[in-house]
Amino acid sequence: MNTEQARFNMIEQQIRPWNVLDPSVLSLLAVVRREDFVPAEHRSLAFMDVEVPLGAGQSMLPPRVEARILQEMQFQRHEKVLEIGTGSGYMAALLGHKVQAVHTLETDPGLAAKATENLRRAGAVNVTVHQQDGAAGLAAEAPFDAIVMSGSVAEVPQALLEQLKVGGRLFAIVGSEPVMVAQIITRTAEHSFVARAIFDTVAQRLVGFAEPKAFSF
């Protein structure tokens, strides 16, 4: 595989056509080596428009979704960000280039260890991996300027919303198959939150988040 050609094709054929036109995002995707965060057995999938399996029932989001998150959230250099669902560490590495500090939570010990190593090799010195359940967030480091949920949930836990600064925003893919909606939820005041739908998609569930209770008759 011609890696650089595959990376170029990913950006030009998947990401640009999905309305990702921010030059800073496109240049970042060209620099951070996605293939270094993909398990060796799935390296051929590194630049494809698919979720890449990571084991432990988890996967990487498709590149175009990662790119839209970076563009729509409009991260700033001074910000502190929480990521839920570290996976291989790729999204955390991208975030690390955009913001001041990233804390990322991974429930699976094996993935947390691998992500830590991937991020070390990538020189992501401002990213900290925490091996713990993501549903409760990271109160010790709150409040955050932004929170990114790197997978889908039935609903966003209030505990995570409460860890946003006023003016802070949270990205989540919310719903159940076949209909899920990517949203940005902004904390507009102490007890006020506004959600904005960004795009429709389907993504694998984050581990450890409650499913809605089924109706019984």
How far apart, in whole angstroms, are the C-alpha atoms of residue 198 and residue 28? 21
Do the strands 164-176 and 144-153 form a parallel or antiparallel pair, or are they unpaired?
Answer: parallel
Between CA 95 and CA 82 the distance in angstroms is 10
Q: Where are the domains of the chain?
A: 3-201
Give all strands of the β-sheet with 144-153 in edge-to-edge order. 127-131, 101-106, 80-84, 144-153, 164-176, 179-189, 192-201
What contacts 56, CB < 8 A, 6 or more positions away?
A: 108, 110, 111, 207
User: Domain 3-201: which topology?
Assistant: Rossmann fold (3.40.50)
- Residue 99: what residue type? V
CB 155 within 8 A of CB 212: yes
pLDDT per residue of the chain (217 residues) written in tens, 0 to 9: 699 999 999 999 999 999 999 999 999 999 999 999 999 999 999 999 999 999 888 999 999 999 999 999 999 999 999 999 999 999 999 999 999 999 999 999 999 999 999 999 999 999 999 999 999 999 999 999 999 999 999 999 999 999 999 999 999 999 999 989 999 999 999 999 999 999 999 999 998 887 766 555 4
What residues are paired with 61 via a beta bridge? none
Cα separation, 90 vs 83, whole angstroms:
11
pTM exceeding 0.75: yes
d(CA 89, CA 1): 23
The SS3 call for residue 86 is coil
